[in-house]
Structure 1
Amino acid sequence: MNAQTEWVQVDALAEGFAKEANILEHVNDLTGKTFILHAEDMAISHHFESEKVLTWEVLDGVEKGAKGQGIYKATCLREGIYFVDFVKEEEFAASASIVLNLAEEKATIVVGQMPSESEAMRPIYQRVKSGELLTSVQVDILQCSIGKPFGEMSGHEETEELVGKRVQYEYSPHEYYEHIYLNSNYYTWHCMKGVERGLVETDKCHHFKVADDLFLFVWREKVIPTLGIIMIDLSRFKTTGKILGFDGTEFKKINNFPVGAKASILNETEHHIE
């Protein structure tokens, strides 16, 4: 029996994904533009100063006056719909990912926070006893309108349209995974080829519908603290997004790397429950 762990740290995952990756190229469409995103209880301005740098500032709400900047990556999966991602340098191990749906004047912000070492080291059973989620990765998901006050139809709604689907993702010729979308809160991932080959886990997730056959999917892993945020286009059969985690086991440096995949639907399950 092999007593050595099979689990892979995020830096090794990033290295495995990097070669011949199926990621979308960065686009410069947003350069020079400013978008004010209105959430239910706050407004945040995002100004794309250059092809690489954006600045943000909270204009209204309890965090009014908070500001920062980041080196961003922007990809465009469909015309007028962008995925923007950057590390929040002013905070510990945090990132922000934004879906900008310009055609519908809607946006979703996902702020991710990696755990401290002490939080990551807490036993899962202790979390169960305390009534907490099993994952130590935190997210704050804000639904927003773009350039107008927050209203009933602002942002992107949660969806169950992925539930029951089993989808294969080719991140590169060397990295193949499948996702099984079990319900609105949990999914199972399985590495069929790559650095995590043979590993399987069921983790916490969140699903949002951006447009027809276009979804924002967020997951939080519990074994190795990991945050994944991707947009899934089941018309183009393509994804774009990122994975965030720690570089190694020291909890001092993060690795935030882009991902993209070719997608194919393997099957779809329909449950018959009376």
Structure 2
Amino acid sequence: MTTSSDWITVGALADGFAPEAFILPNLADLNGKTFTLNFANGWQIEHRFDRETLSWTAADGHSTGTADYRATSVRPGLYLVDFIKREGSQAWSISLVLDTASASFTAVIGRMPTHEQTREGLYSRALAGKNLTSVEVDFLHGSLDRPWQEGQCPHAPTTELTGLRNLYRYSPSEVYEHIYLNDQFYSWQCLKGVEQGLCDTDRCHYYKIADQLYLFVWREKIIPTLGLVLIDLQQHRSDGKIFGYAGSSFDELSNFPVSSYCQVLNRTEYPDA
């Protein structure tokens, strides 16, 4: 069991999650498919999939690239595609929720802080009115293979998870609890595993994707971490990834899959809320 000071890097966390992890298989049925993502902000980017790599080309020709990707599906016609986009020394976490039933998508773009940003203390950030976490994230929406029109993407912020206490089993050795406090924060604790005994309250974001299916994203402040999962309360499964620096030297990234069997422990209803 850890003590209160035993925080570990994201790379060490990946090593802890790996043995016998309950990972959903990487799907091969995107092989040979092409989707044109029409963003609400005006971007138009074609994504072409083969068995292991994803290639993208922007309509203006200014953005092209190729990356290895992971694609999973918790429900028919819905894909979670995850990859790292690199340009020179810059790297972004890209996660796409491709919803073929509604011909829409949500893109989650995450960035790790620089070494200099991590040296800024929490007290200084609080006094400056900044988020306590230096991990950045953007949420973009759009339509698949058709021009964007307002209202075409049904994915929307939600408070339906507020008050929920959920247990996540990522492997026989890794068990966590989440408590969804409000529309901006949640608390977590490690009940079993390499972070056993650790807990915190962090900034988070919730989107409803479909009935009892939610996109949950969190940003940790102690060890710079971006987590992203789809939570399916019907199937009692979650699937996603954790992204951060592999070690303390800021020269290597870790982006590893996490899937779980989850169960609702209880839900708190606040009479005066």
Give the TM-score, by structure 1 length: 0.94
After TM superposition, the structure 1 = structure 2 runs for residues 184-263 of structure 1, keeping only pairs within 5 Å, are 184-263=183-262
> How much has 1:41 moved relative to structure 2?
1.5
Number of the residue aligned with 1:138: 136
- Corresponding pairs, count: 270
Residues 79 and 4 of structure 1: is their aligned pair in 2 closer, same or farther, counting only changes over 3 Å?
closer
Contact 1:34-1:45 at 8 Å conserved across structures: no
> How much has 1:12 moved relative to structure 2?
0.7
Contact 1:55-1:68 at 8 Å conserved across structures: yes
> How much has 1:4 moved relative to structure 2?
8.1
**Would you say 1:50 and 2:41 are equivalent positions?**
no
Moved over 4 A (4+): none
- Matching residue's letter, 1:144: G
Instruction: Note the residue ranges of structure 2 that are not aligned, 5 or more in a row.
Output: none
After TM superposition, the structure 1 = structure 2 runs for residues 55-94 of structure 1, keeping only pairs within 5 Å, are 55-59=55-59, 65-90=62-87, 92-94=90-92
Aligned partners of 1:212, 1:205: CA distance in 2, in Å? 20
Q: CA RMSD in A?
A: 1.6
Which of the residues 148, 151, 154 maps onto 2:152? Answer: 154
Aligned partners of 1:246, 1:158: CA distance in 2, in Å? 28
Aligned partners of 1:51, 1:3: CA distance in 2, in Å? 43
**Structure 1 stretch displaced more, 124-133 or 39-48:** 39-48
Aligned partners of 1:50, 1:146: CA distance in 2, in Å? 18
**Structure 1 stretch displaced more, 219-228 or 136-145:** 136-145
- Matching residue's letter, 1:98: L
- Matching residue's letter, 2:16: G
Identity of aligned residues (%): 46
After TM superposition, the structure 1 = structure 2 runs for residues 114-129 of structure 1, keeping only pairs within 5 Å, are 114-129=112-127
Contact 1:247-1:253 at 8 Å conserved across structures: yes
Contact 1:42-1:59 at 8 Å conserved across structures: no
Contact 1:72-1:84 at 8 Å conserved across structures: yes
Number of the residue aligned with 1:7: 7
Aligned partners of 1:165, 1:260: CA distance in 2, in Å? 19
Q: Output one character per residue of 1:173-216: Cα deviation in whole Å (capped at 9) or x when no partner.
A: 00000100001110001100000001110001110011100010
> How much has 1:59 moved relative to structure 2?
2.0
Aligned partners of 2:131, 2:240: CA distance in 1, in Å? 24
**Structure 1 stretch displaced more, 148-157 or 97-106:** 148-157
Aligned partners of 1:234, 1:247: CA distance in 2, in Å? 31
> How much has 1:3 moved relative to structure 2?
9.0
